[in-house]
Structure 1
Amino acid sequence: MTSEVAEDFTPEQVARGRALRRAQLPAAIGGRLAGLALLLVLGLTPGGAWLAGLFGDGWAARILAGGLSLVVLRTLLLLPFSAWVRVVRARFGLVTQGWAGWVLDVLRGLLVSVPLLLGALYGVYALAGTGRWWWWAWAALGAAVAAVVLSWLAPVLLEPLFNRFTPMEPGPLRDALLALAERDRVRVREVLVADASRRTTALNAYVSGFGRTRRIVAYDTLLTTAEPREVELVVAHELGHVKHRDVLRGTVLGAVGAAVGVCVLAAVVSWRPLLGAAGVDHFSDPRSVWLLAAVAAVGSAIAGPFGCAVSRRIERRADAHALELTDDPAHFIAMQRRITVANVGDPSPPRLLHLLFGTHPTAVQRIAAARRHAVTA
């Protein structure tokens, strides 16, 4: 254990965080590899085309069969890995939800993802079936618009499907959070409390929505565990994302990324050797849906570490904003300690693992940044 870790965390806390990481890593990595393998096996062989033809030879029927088989088989394959991670996290006291509630959440996820996926597939194959060489341009535009619309609607329509939100009771903490947003010149409509405790003991807060729908959301677990000043520091970090327009930039980048991704996919899935391996003559045949998913999965896996690097940079900037807004590095450090311990996090995970999958700076890095702020302020 390095001196930086030992300065802020006890050996027992460090050992517990590392034990959780090691216990759930095989399931997490195994699930990723199994999901990718399924897509490659059925996307690069006639197996996927056969599944897409189960409902008949009609254009709409092939899209329906391909999309449903894709969602159902992938979900069934990944369920054991998700359950494995859940069992591990429950052993460390991070899970409060029963198995029935977990299954219900899975079903809710399917009710959201299946219509979205089928809508996207029908749109893509309708355009590809026109025979025009520029069909991919309209598909790219549609993907960009969909990314923007979903980003705007998610806080209002999707979040309430998985959590209940209640207004925070009037009092000193609510007043302090609203005053913090006002001092930061960020307009928020309200302060809400999410009933996260019915699923987990983990601590968190966030700011969601745009314009009139923007609100501060705090986990009830955070409010019952952390000191009020620490809650303010968490919210100050989230306000940093708003102040630097991270949500807006993320939406724009997501739209651009979706458009570029569609263009790349259109080029790759039209490559004759891949179409031959998938057992189809041309991409406009909806039986190529598994091939499309396989290529998209490979692209996502390649882009993943780059996305994590961008995310870590954004999170460091939000931390700096929180320190500048509050000028309270002592409570920032206390907050980082509390969240790391409560969430059973590893304060300093292996470097390679962090580079590949880490979306936030490590706890040790965030605490070190707060100490530097204290010296230079």
Structure 2
Amino acid sequence: MTITSFTIIFIVLLVSQTLMQFYLSSRQVKAVSLHKDRVPPEFAHKISLTSHQRAAKYTIAHQRVFLLEVLVDVALLLGLTLFGGLTWINTQLSMLISSPIWYQIALVLSVFAISTVISLPFSLYRTFVLEASFGFNRMTPGLFVMDLIKSTLLSLAIMVPLLYGVFVFLENFYGPNWWIWIWASFIFFTMILMFIGPKFIMPLFNKFTPLDNPELQERIQALAKRANFGLKELFVMDGSKRSSHGNAFFTGFGKNRRIVFFDTLLNKLTPPEIEAVLAHELGHFKHKHILKRIVMSVVISFIFFAALDYFMDKTWFYAGLGVFPGIGQPIFGIAIVLFSVVILPIFTFWYTPVSSFLSRKDEFEADRYAASQSNANDLISALVKLYDDNAATLTPDNLHSAFYDSHPPASVRIQHLKTVG
């Protein structure tokens, strides 16, 4: 293939991203290793040295798997682009499938399948080796297979009609403003998924039951009244059938919004601590964090489709990535693959610290709200228990944390709660 200016830009971005990932990971491993033999003073009375060292080993083990996965992803990316993989797949499918629409759908699904197969060994290793070795995994091989089948079928049920609609539209109505119509349809479709997800999609994988604890319900109803929050139902999710990790989250919107507790979380925390955790989740709602993230995703997707429109008919874009569609062949499928698998991950990697910063800002706001509606010390106590039980490191590297972490580091978050509480 001919090396073009865009090829050089692509290689520079890919290499710089990979080097940054290795650099940040090495800093994280070094910071965690350096402090593994001493529990930070603010946690020394609640977390044992054994637990602290276990968290260090867990963090380092995850980093090693992560780096291996980075190298495999780079190899896959280069294989699809500069080494001709996508061109070969495109050629084979165009000869096998006569329909331009179904050939393009098959192209997108083929790359999706290849990516899934390559990531499968990492998922298996994390679940049945890494997580199991630290006592977190509760998933059986049978459940793993069932989850894989369900998620694959669900993805196909969503992707095939969506891709078919996109390619039919592009074949018949491709023009100057095609991308605006596709973007608007994408947003509409995403909103539908967000609305039906909590009620129809998530129950395919987990069982959700209303919280059945009179004492806790009384506390929560009192909290909801103080917070002026119309709370209908709280749900408990059977997270324990897959992992011993505990969590809670706010999902959905409108009539389908719900707050969900992992059953593992309820088993580990006291009622006052659970109330404080719920107050934190209500804080996200009160500060409209979910709405802000939806608006942000709308803006980002707008930019994505505008860029796709710009690059769609540029020969140098395909040639620069080592992809050569056949003469007269539709290029919509190839363009979508290149943007989704190549361009989007590389060009958005450097947005990660901005996204992480905004997420941490939201967490601080939710913590302040929790402190105003419940006892800050109860939330601190709950967080410390979760850090301990989930083997979360208490001594992350500052730069790694600033780049990746959606939540503030443990010590920073606890200090903030002590200040506002």
Say if 2:383 is the partner of 1:336. yes
Aligned partner (choices 49, 53, 61) of residue 11 of structure 1: 49
Aligned to 1:101: 143
Say if 2:323 is the partner of 1:278. yes
Aligned partner (choices 306, 315, 325) of residue 363 of structure 2: 315
Aligned to 1:215: 258
Which whole-Å CA distance do the structure 1 matches of 2:335 and 2:297 have between them? 25
Aligned to 1:22: 60
Aligned partner (choices 149, 154, 160) of residue 197 of structure 2: 154
76 and 304 in structure 1: CA distance in 2 versus 1, 3 angstrom threshold: same
- Aligned-pair identity in percent equals 27
Aligned to 1:167: 210
- The answer to whether the 8 Å contact 1:309/1:359 transfers is yes
Deviation at 1:353, TM superposition (A): 2.0
Which sits farther off after the overlay, 248-257 or 159-168?
A: 248-257
Aligned partner (choices 77, 80, 90) of residue 118 of structure 2: 77
- The answer to whether the 8 Å contact 1:336/1:366 transfers is no
What is the DSSP-based 3-state SS (H/G/I as helix, E as strand, rest coil) of the residue aligned with 1:15?
helix
Which whole-Å CA distance do the structure 2 matches of 1:4 and 1:112 have between them? 46
The one-character-per-residue Cα deviations of 1:33-84 (angstroms, maximum 9, x if unpaired) are 5335424431455421332442424212212321221121101100111122
Which sits farther off after the overlay, 309-318 or 143-152?
A: 143-152
Aligned to 1:371: 418
302 and 246 in structure 1: CA distance in 2 versus 1, 3 angstrom threshold: same
110 and 278 in structure 1: CA distance in 2 versus 1, 3 angstrom threshold: same
Aligned to 1:180: 223
Which whole-Å CA distance do the structure 2 matches of 1:289 and 1:261 have between them? 10
What is the DSSP-based 3-state SS (H/G/I as helix, E as strand, rest coil) of the residue aligned with 1:251?
helix
Deviation at 1:190, TM superposition (A): 0.6
Aligned to 2:17: none
Which whole-Å CA distance do the structure 1 matches of 2:82 and 2:358 have between them? 31
Partner AA of 1:105 in structure 2? D
Aligned partner (choices 59, 66, 69) of residue 107 of structure 2: 66
Which sits farther off after the overlay, 88-97 or 297-306?
A: 297-306
257 and 285 in structure 1: CA distance in 2 versus 1, 3 angstrom threshold: closer
What is the DSSP-based 3-state SS (H/G/I as helix, E as strand, rest coil) of the residue aligned with 1:101?
helix
Unaligned runs of 5+ in 1: none
Which whole-Å CA distance do the structure 2 matches of 1:78 and 1:362 have between them? 29
What is the DSSP-based 3-state SS (H/G/I as helix, E as strand, rest coil) of the residue aligned with 1:298?
helix
285 and 150 in structure 1: CA distance in 2 versus 1, 3 angstrom threshold: closer
Partner AA of 1:314 in structure 2? D
What is the DSSP-based 3-state SS (H/G/I as helix, E as strand, rest coil) of the residue aligned with 1:278?
coil
Aligned to 2:16: none
Which sits farther off after the overlay, 70-79 or 266-275?
A: 266-275
Aligned to 2:131: 89
Which whole-Å CA distance do the structure 1 matches of 2:66 and 2:369 have between them? 32
What is the DSSP-based 3-state SS (H/G/I as helix, E as strand, rest coil) of the residue aligned with 1:336?
helix
Deviation at 1:5, TM superposition (A): 5.1
- The answer to whether the 8 Å contact 1:63/1:289 transfers is no
Which whole-Å CA distance do the structure 2 matches of 1:356 and 1:303 have between them? 9
Which sits farther off after the overlay, 333-342 or 206-215?
A: 206-215
Aligned to 1:325: 373
Which sits farther off after the overlay, 353-362 or 116-125?
A: 116-125
Normalised by the length of structure 1, the TM-score is 0.91
- The answer to whether the 8 Å contact 2:371/2:420 transfers is yes
- The answer to whether the 8 Å contact 1:315/1:360 transfers is yes
The one-character-per-residue Cα deviations of 1:102-131 (angstroms, maximum 9, x if unpaired) are 222122221222333334433443344334
Aligned to 1:355: 402
The one-character-per-residue Cα deviations of 1:324-370 (angstroms, maximum 9, x if unpaired) are 111x2221211111000111110221122212221111111111111
- The answer to whether the 8 Å contact 2:312/2:332 transfers is no
The alignment of Structure 1 onto Structure 2 pairs a total of residues equal to 373
Deviation at 1:8, TM superposition (A): 5.3
Aligned to 1:202: 245
List structure 1 segments (4+ residues) > 6 angstroms apart after TM superposition.
Answer: none
Which sits farther off after the overlay, 263-272 or 170-179?
A: 263-272
Deviation at 1:92, TM superposition (A): 0.8
Normalised by the length of structure 2, the TM-score is 0.82
What is the DSSP-based 3-state SS (H/G/I as helix, E as strand, rest coil) of the residue aligned with 1:218?
strand
Aligned to 1:145: 188
The one-character-per-residue Cα deviations of 1:258-311 (angstroms, maximum 9, x if unpaired) are 222221233234432222321126873534443233222323433333222221
Partner AA of 1:77 in structure 2? I
